[in-house]
Amino acid sequence: MDYSRLMSAQIQDIKPSGIRKYFSLAEEMGDCISLGVGEPDFVTPWEIRRAGIESLDQGKTFYSANAGLKELRRQITLYLDRAFGLRYDPDTETVVTVGGSEAIDMAMRVLLNPGDEVLLPSPCFVCYEPIARMCGATVTTLVLKEENEFRLTAEELRAAITERTKLLVLPFPSNPTGAVMNRKDLESIAEVLKGTGIFVLSDEIYSELTYGDERHVSPAAISRDMWERTVTVNGFSKSFAMTGWRLGYVCAPAPVTEQIVKMHQFAIMCAPTTAQYAAIVALRDCEDMVSDMREEYDMRRRFIVDGFNRIGLHCFEPRGAFYVFPSIEATGLSSDDFCEQLIRKKRVAVIPGTAFGAGGEGHIRVSYSYSLKHIKEALRRIGEFMDEL
Amino acid sequence: MDKLLKLLCEDARLPVETLATMTGSTPEEVAAKIQKMESDGIILGYRAVVDWDKADREMVESYIDLKIAPKKDFGFDEFAELVSQMPEVKSCTLMSGGSDISLVVEGRSFKDIALFVGKRLATMESVISTSTRFVLKTYKKQGHQVSGKNTDDREMDF
């Protein structure tokens, strides 16, 4: 059969993630150490795991409501209010999804018409662009600058808006840069959006992982106007080290969530019930564990930023997530070449900035969700690599 | 917990420079803080965590629970201070529950420990009873999994 002729042309046109190449290469080379993984190295806290197991022991193996367990939705809205001053109704404005990923997918499908334009900061996480394209939308990239600490400025946004602009994606704290948007940054973004028909998709999956005195600020908490135009996506993967449980949520004004629940019902039915019971305990009882993990990440963050700067790879100090995004411009190599040579010569796998869009050229993404010992060894090898260049 | 103390509890061999970087402080400040914690008796010492089964040395560990009859001018504290001086006693704690004083005692053999209990502990005037349990196998020691199985099961996603 001629599969390529028969299958969806639109899907086949979408390029696979550029990252697989490095993972295959790392596997091929053997004894590689990686700073490439994008998930916590912590195991889900014991209490949360226990709650999942207990729900199974009690035979709670049925579907939940499409939008998710009522008690979980209630805990989500209590948490969002407590943590970020976000107000959502658990019954009409909150949907529990299969990871933040599903929430992003559903939100984009619900918001976008063919021909709409999506504004996407670059570099950013890899899923937004393919999903937007599957909706028939076009994507305009807003290349973020290191001199602005990879934040989106009001000027950059204003210059990019056209009459077709429908959606602005705000993926902060950022994977891959670790950048955050503070209140002032968001207020000036809000000012630009006022009076437009532009939605905001705010992916806040790393919201619990910010460092320094300022906590994460949610775009929807900036003003009533922003609340009305924002779809807030969050989840349990990064904050509670629950990546494998696949649980996220989306909160938005009722007309939006109504459409999302409909799509979610047809595509998924409901998020895994076991994970939902576990997540109730996560939100209710585990805030201390989140702050312990945050403190641990913070210490590693300081260590790795210092390490890269010592090696001679300039690294701006990220304030969120668990990535650093050092510049490799001093080497004269492209991101791709740097990563390939580093794997081949020193058996260290990091991700080229370009895997996250053109805005990532000249940088590498390095995860510090690894033990200190592991990070130390990787830095030692990268130091050697630099000396031998 | 204090960040510095937390780091030292995980790995006391981290260089002062690393500790300073990780806690957002200077090496001088870290060194001074450590010295103060040492002189204040907050940090009592630094030891390697050893899996004796792998090391070339015979070692038996036991947990000994004691019931004590406190006497005038010789209560739990006085008793505990006294047994703490015995080199075989590696840790000594006052406990809630069925027994009063709990000891961790190390020796070269079961016999060594049995002799220590029979001759040194049981004969003490305040001791009403002893209960000795020997460690058969250690799975986790001071936060370290003895099997050394610390594999990273994460697959390459991002």
| Chain B residues touching A38 at Cβ < 8 A | 157-158
- The answer, for B156 touching chain A at a CB cutoff of 8 Å, is yes
For the stretch A252-277, pLDDT in tens is 999 999 999 999 999 999 999 999 99
Q: What is the ipTM of this complex?
A: 0.73
Residue A338 near residue A308 (C-beta atoms within 8 A) = no
Say how far apart CA A175 and CA A171 lie, in whole Å: 8
User: Which chain A residue has the Cα nearest residue B6?
Assistant: A296
Cis (ω within 30 of 0) for the bond into A173?
A: yes
Q: Please report which confidence band the pLDDT of residue A387 belongs to, taking 50, 70 and 90 as the band edges.
A: very high
- The answer, for A56 touching chain B at a CB cutoff of 8 Å, is no
Amino acid at A113: N
- The answer, for A36 touching chain B at a CB cutoff of 8 Å, is yes
Q: Is B102 helix (H, G, I), strand (E, B) or coil?
A: strand
| Chain B residues touching A351 at Cβ < 8 A | 158
Q: Would the pLDDT of B158 be above 90?
A: no
User: Which chain A residue has the Cα nearest residue B155?
Assistant: A37
Is the pTM of the predicted complex or chain greater than 0.90?
Answer: no
- The answer, for B7 touching chain A at a CB cutoff of 8 Å, is yes
Give contacts of B 116-135 with A, CB under 8 A.
none
**Distance between start and end Cα atoms, chain B:** 32
For the stretch B23-64, pLDDT in tens is 999 999 999 999 999 999 999 999 999 888 888 888 899 999
**Number of Cβ pairs closer than 8 Å across A and B?**
39
Domain ranges of chain A: 3-44+288-388, 46-285
Length of chain B: 158
| Chain A residues touching B21 at Cβ < 8 A | 302-303, 306
State the pLDDT at residue A266.
96
Name the percent of chain A lying above pLDDT 90: 92
State the pLDDT at residue A84.
97
Q: Would the pLDDT of A1 be above 90?
A: yes
State the pLDDT at residue B150.
67
For the stretch A215-244, pLDDT in tens is 999 999 999 999 999 999 999 999 999 999
For the stretch A21-67, pLDDT in tens is 777 888 888 788 989 888 899 999 999 999 999 999 999 999 999 99
β-strand pairing of A351-352 with A199-203: unpaired
Selecting from 2.40.10.330, 3.20.190.10, 3.20.20.150, 3.90.1150.10, what CATH number does the domain A3-44+288-388 have?
3.90.1150.10
CB neighbour list of residue A339: distance below 8 Å, 6 or more residues apart: A22, A349, A350, A351, A352, A364
CB neighbour list of residue A296: distance below 8 Å, 6 or more residues apart: A42
CA dihedral A100, A201, A322, A98 (to 10 degrees): 0
Mean pLDDT of A172-194: 97
CATH 3.40.640.10 fits A46-285, yes or no: yes
Q: Would the pLDDT of A362 be above 70?
A: yes
For the stretch B63-117, pLDDT in tens is 999 999 998 889 999 999 999 999 999 999 999 999 999 999 999 999 999 999 9
- Put simply, the answer to whether B158 touches A26 (Cβ < 8 Å) is no
Amino acid at A248: G
| Chain A residues touching B14 at Cβ < 8 A | 372
Q: Would the pLDDT of A126 be above 70?
A: yes
- The answer, for A300 touching chain B at a CB cutoff of 8 Å, is yes
State the pLDDT at residue B157.
63
Task: Determine the distance in angstroms separating the CA of A48 from the nearest CA of chain B, rounded to an integer.
Answer: 19
* Disruptive mutation site among B1, B4, B16, B156 for chain A (greatest number of A CBs within 10 Å): B156
Residue B60 near residue B134 (C-beta atoms within 8 A) = yes
Give contacts of B 24-53 with A, CB under 8 A.
24
State the pLDDT at residue A184.
97
Assigned token pair, B25: 């402080």
- The answer, for A303 touching chain B at a CB cutoff of 8 Å, is yes
Q: Please report which confidence band the pLDDT of residue A19 belongs to, taking 50, 70 and 90 as the band edges.
A: confident
